[in-house]
Structure 1
Amino acid sequence: MFCCGALVLYLILSQAGGLLHPSEDDSVPEEWMLLHVVQGHIGAGNYSYLRLSHDGRIVLHMRSLKGDADLYVSDKTLQPSFDTYKLQSTTCGQDVVVVPEDFLRPVGIGIYGHPSHMESEFEIRVFYDQTAPKDLFDESSYPSDDGQEEQKFPQGMEEDFQEEESIFWTILIGLLKIIVEILF
């Protein structure tokens, strides 16, 4: 009976200790707004790709839950790797990359499963940094040289277009698979 009581007391104290000492996930500034949380797994030596369309200064916090996943970011390709990237974080712990406001959108994000582990599990938290100063001399707010103002789409319309584009490619690939199966 005494052992059970001691075990229950230990569990209660360990839970209280977790409340008193927040985890490292809670150590982000209050000015950062959480946009997305993405969890996934990746095999050794493989890549998984994400696309970032949000404007502004974006902070990517990736934590390897199991194994070791590395982070590669580029605004030149949607499939960055350890050969083609602009920003990277390849630590054995928490990986953090700050995507500058002036990166062209969409930004490609590559998650690489390090070969030291057969499989890696990861969690990426995507934050919008609201503290980034606004550029008063941003040329995109002025008309272009030919006198016509560039048309800008709200964030929601851009995401809808990307979703429609993704559905189109999914259907097209499905039809191609059916045709290949019929022919061969």
Structure 2
Amino acid sequence: MTLGSTALVLILLVSQARSFLSPSGDDDGGVPEEWVLLHVVQGHIGAGNYSYLRLNHDGRIILHMQSLKGDADLYVSDKTLHPSFDTYKLQSVTCGHDVVVVPGDFARPVGIGIYGHPFHQESEFEMRVFYDQSVAPDPFDKGSYTPEDERKGQQVARTEDNFQEEESVFWTILIGLLKIILEILF
């Protein structure tokens, strides 16, 4: 009886370990329903090298990258199409599963750099690119203004104009005073 229960416990532990260590059987990997899979990118990268991708899709984008072999790291920027560990805005440099959330307000195109860590001769990766549909559209986006928003925008613009006008008067007076002081001294 104890041998049968020991075997049962052992089988249960092995099955739990297998489900913990292996990826889930479904393709989406347990991502939320609001996320739409846009692309799956697979590739190899040599030690110390970069591979670059360009993201043109608008909205909030989630990059899920899994290092299948070696260690690939992820660098993202909306300022350069060739981000690196020196020039990036977002990064994920874990061993294994890297995730970066690209905000919807990042300028497009977004540069994505995949770096092969030098500890491994070659790294193999798979990156899944998801679009997050659950994020509401930006109320400050062009075309979504209401008349009330427009009035608020005009009020802010008037306030900025007044500030610039006051600043201009200040500099005019200051420069006039400096001219008078210079004439007196010289």
TM bucket (normalised to shorter chain) is 0.5 to 0.7
**CA distance in structure 2 between the aligned counterparts of 1:124 and 1:42, rounded to whole angstroms:** 13
In the alignment, which of 65, 68, 89 is matched to residue 68 of structure 2? Answer: 65
**CA drift at 1:140:** 5.5
Aligned to 1:34: 37
**CA distance in structure 2 between the aligned counterparts of 1:130 and 1:61, rounded to whole angstroms:** 16
- Read off the aligned partner of 1:128 and give its amino acid letter: Y
- Read off the aligned partner of 1:93 and give its amino acid letter: G
- Read off the aligned partner of 1:114 and give its amino acid letter: H
Aligned to 1:108: 111
Aligned to 1:22: 24
For structure 2, which runs of at least 5 residues remain unmatched after alignment? 1-10, 146-186
Change (3 A) 1:138 1:124: same
CA contact (8 A) 2:55 2:109 kept: yes
Change (3 A) 1:77 1:30: same
Aligned length: 127
For structure 1, which runs of at least 5 residues remain unmatched after alignment? 1-9, 143-184
Q: Which has the larger radius of gyration?
A: 2
Q: CA RMSD in A?
A: 2.3
Aligned to 2:86: 83
Aligned to 1:49: 52
- Read off the aligned partner of 1:56 and give its amino acid letter: G
**CA distance in structure 2 between the aligned counterparts of 1:97 and 1:103, rounded to whole angstroms:** 13
**CA distance in structure 2 between the aligned counterparts of 1:99 and 1:115, rounded to whole angstroms:** 26
**CA distance in structure 2 between the aligned counterparts of 1:137 and 1:75, rounded to whole angstroms:** 19
- Read off the aligned partner of 2:53 and give its amino acid letter: L
Deviations 1:26-68 (A, max 9, x none): 2210110000000000000000000000000000000000000
**CA distance in structure 1 between the aligned counterparts of 2:96 and 2:41, rounded to whole angstroms:** 17
**CA distance in structure 1 between the aligned counterparts of 2:78 and 2:25, rounded to whole angstroms:** 32
Q: Structure 1: which 4+ aligned runs deviate by more than 6 Å?
A: none
Q: Indicate the SS of the match to 1:139.
A: coil
**CA distance in structure 1 between the aligned counterparts of 2:31 and 2:60, rounded to whole angstroms:** 15
Compute the TM-score of the two structures, normalised by the length of structure 2.
0.63
**CA distance in structure 2 between the aligned counterparts of 1:99 and 1:60, rounded to whole angstroms:** 8
**CA drift at 1:131:** 0.5
Aligned to 1:177: none
**CA distance in structure 2 between the aligned counterparts of 1:130 and 1:102, rounded to whole angstroms:** 15
**CA drift at 1:139:** 3.3
Aligned to 2:138: 135
CA contact (8 A) 2:68 2:96 kept: no
